[in-house]
Structure 1
C-alpha cells in the first residue's frame, strides 16, 4: 500500500513590505512521502514570496511532472508565473518560461550548483529567470520548528526574511542569482 501525503497547517501572517502585500492566510500544505521537509519549507516560502491573486500549489506537488511546485493563473486560467523549487531540470524551466512568460527558481540547495546545471541549456529568456536561495542554517532551524499545526509570521523587507515559526525567531537574506 502506498503511503499518503502528510498534511501540515500553517496560520500565516504575511507582511511583504517590498511589494506592499499584507495578508492572513490559512494554508494546508501536503508533504508527499518522497518530499523532504527542506523542499516543503522552500515550496511554502516560494508561495509566500510570490503571493498574489491566482497563486496555487500545483495539484500533483512534488510528484507532478507537468506542473511546477507553485504556479499563478490569471482569471482565464492561463498560467502567468511558473515557480520551480529545488533543482529542476532545464527542460522544465524552459517549458515554464515559454508557457508562462515568467519563471523563477527557489532552492534550498547550493544555488551556484543549481545555476550551473541550468546555464547554457537553451532556456527561453534565461537572462530573466532568477534563482533565489536561503541560508542553509535558516532552512535547518525552520524545519526543526515545523509541527503539524503551525503559526507562521513572515515579514519581508529589502529581501530580508524575518520569520516567527511556532515561537522560533529566525532571519535570512534571500540571495538572488541570474541564469545568464
Structure 2
C-alpha cells in the first residue's frame, strides 16, 4: 500500500445474471493519492463484472507491471488481464501476450481511448474488448462514495444496476472491440 493511501471498504451484494455469478463480497481498496474516485470506482466495477475464482486487485495506479485487476488460475498463471482507464498500447500488448483474455474498463471517452491505440502494435488486438458506461453514470456514483460503503451490483443483459449507499443508478455496459491498425 502506498504511503498516504486512503482505505475504502465495500460490502457488496453481487448478482450477475448474465454469467450466473452471485456472491457477497467484503472488499478493501487502497486509493492511491493520485487515483481519482472515478478510477477507483471503475476498478471496483471491473472487479465485480469480471468476478471469478482467483481474481485480485493489484496496487492499482501504483502497479507498473500489472493491471488494475487480474485473475490467476490455481497454478498462478494469469488468465485475465483487466486494465482500467486508458492504458498505453505497450501495456495492452504485454497483457495480451501474457493472459488468455485482456479487457479494459474505462471511465473516459471510449473513442479517445481507442484513438490513442491507433497504429500501435497490440498483440491479438481484435480479441481485446473496451468496456465503458453511460455518460454521467460514474460522476453520479462517485458523489455517493464514502470511506465505508454498502452496495448492490446487479447485471442483466449488460445493463448494470447499482445501489451505492442508498443512491440508485443504472447504466448499459458498452462493449467495443479495439482494432489494430
**TM-score of the superposed pair, with normalisation by structure 1:** 0.97
| Structure 1: runs of 5 or more not aligned | none
CA-CA distance at 1:101 after TM superposition: 2.2
Cα RMSD, aligned residues only: 1.0
State how far apart, in whole Å, the 1-side matches of 2:47 and 2:173 are.
14
Q: Give the SS at the match of 1:122.
A: coil
1:6-49 alpha-carbon deviations (Å, 9 max, x no partner): 00000000000000000000000110000000000000000000
Counterpart of 1:160 in structure 2 is 159
CA-CA distance at 1:174 after TM superposition: 0.6
| Structure 2: runs of 5 or more not aligned | none
State how far apart, in whole Å, the 1-side matches of 2:133 and 2:6 are.
24
Structure with the higher fraction of residues in helix conformation: 1
CA-CA distance at 1:77 after TM superposition: 0.7
State how far apart, in whole Å, the 1-side matches of 2:163 and 2:95 are.
32
- Matched residues, number: 178
CA-CA distance at 1:3 after TM superposition: 4.6
Counterpart of 2:61 in structure 1 is 62
The alignment status of 1:111 with 2:110, answered yes or no, reads yes
Report runs of 4+ in structure 1 exceeding 2 Å deviation: none
**TM-score of the superposed pair, with normalisation by structure 2:** 0.96
Q: Give the SS at the match of 2:98.
A: helix
- Taking the TM superposition and a 5 Å limit, the aligned residue runs for 1:131-142 are 131-142=130-141
Q: Give the SS at the match of 2:143.
A: helix
